[in-house]
Amino acid sequence: MEEYYFDAPLSKSRALCVGPITQNEAAAAGAAFCDGRGFYLYVADAEDPQGTEVLARFATEEAALRMSAMLKSLRPS
C-alpha cells in the first residue's frame, strides 16, 4: 500500500484508504472481486499487513479520485 489517494485513521493502527493494492494484498484479503488491479476502498492495518479488509472496488480511477475528494471534504478543518 505504497500509494493511495486518501487515508483516514480509524484507530492507532487501522486506516480507511482509497487507492490501489498489490496482488499479494488482494490475495491476503480474500475478497473474490479483488485481483490487485484497479482501485479500492479498504481498511489497512499497520500492525497486521495481511489483515487488509477490502470493502469496495471502484469502476475507474476517476471514481476513486472523486470518492477521495468527497471523503476529504468531510474532514474537520
Q: pLDDT digits over 9-60, tens only? A: 999 999 999 999 888 888 888 877 888 789 999 999 999 878 889 999 999 9
- Structural domains in the chain (count): 1
> Is 2's pLDDT higher than 90?
no
**pTM, to two decimals:** 0.86
| 14 falls within a domain | yes
Q: Does residue 74 have a pLDDT over 70?
A: yes
Domain that holds residue 58: 6-73
Q: How many CB atoms lie within 10 A of CB 19?
A: 21
Residue 51 domain-assigned (yes or no): yes
Q: 33-62 burial, b if ≥16 CB within 10 A, otherwise e?
A: ebeeebbbbbbbeeeeeeebebeebbeeee
Is residue 1 domain-resident? no
Residue 39 lies in a domain: yes
- Residue 24 has a pLDDT of 82
